[in-house]
Structure 1
């Protein structure tokens, strides 16, 4: 059984769970294939609080209700669509623990993200996905996402 809830950005236990799940994702081949930096570990929740638009969802496997097991994470940021003149929710990270993959955790996280976006009166959800992350692309297509027309590229410039 799966339970998904919003993380409390002021709660140390939620912070620890989110950091560990994000570290798991960073170590994955679809992440950076290396551990989450100490700076990122220490700055994740303080930075999301400062941003003011951070939305963190944590998925728990709850077959043992006394010991829920964190198995998934979504980190999203509320933004603004200038073309729509309204709020949007950008999915920044979606991560599912290797042991829980293929069990619908990602699909349920995507449904929870959409519910949260609707509750926040967002009119659009955006995300980026690696071109070689076919598993994620398949999930996103199954839940109604598609590549933008014309095709969009995500570019970045590292400043540190």
Structure 2
């Protein structure tokens, strides 16, 4: 297996990202619903236009089997950029081989080289397997003061 930074203009990388995001969306941990064709058709171009977006692809030969996409954010408390891991997806038949941890480790090296202050991510409460991977990679629930508790991720849909 090889893991590399995706090139959003490369046809093989584009096809891998689209294939894996389509599979991720259909997975219960990805919502269980197909992504619209327009999203899949425009995703790589949109990511290419996002400053600081980075995707890592794991390949088994020429076939993309795992994906991690992170987006640049900003920490006001550190006054430095951060990387938010937005998607981590491994095809079911490749799970349990350490690909998620390898991609996270590679992303961390990238983040350190580019002076990001931290990496963040969201994980569903029932995704225990992913939580274990993230804990082994050094992630923990976010809190400023243990007496105030851990932060939770909220959203408000606008479209």
TM-score (norm 2): 0.92
Alignment of 1:49-64 (within 5 A): 49-61=48-60
Q: Deviations for 1:14-39, whole angstroms, at most 9, x for unmatched residues?
A: 11110101111111110111222112
Partner of 1:64: none
Displacement over 6 Å in runs of 4+: none
Q: In angstroms, what is the RMSD of aligned CA positions?
A: 1.2
Structure 2 residues not aligned, in runs of 5+: 144-148
Q: How many residues align structurally? A: 154
The answer as to whether partners of 2:3 and 2:56 remain within 8 angstroms in 1 is yes
Return the offset for 1:43. Answer: 2.1
The answer as to whether partners of 2:16 and 2:63 remain within 8 angstroms in 1 is no
Q: How many angstroms apart in 2 are the aligned matches of 1:17 and 1:86?
A: 31
Partner of 2:122: 128
Return the offset for 1:13. Answer: 2.3
Structure 1 residues not aligned, in runs of 5+: 62-66
Q: Secondary structure at the match of 1:30?
A: helix
Q: Secondary structure at the match of 1:18?
A: helix
Return the offset for 1:119. Answer: 2.0
Partner of 2:98: 104
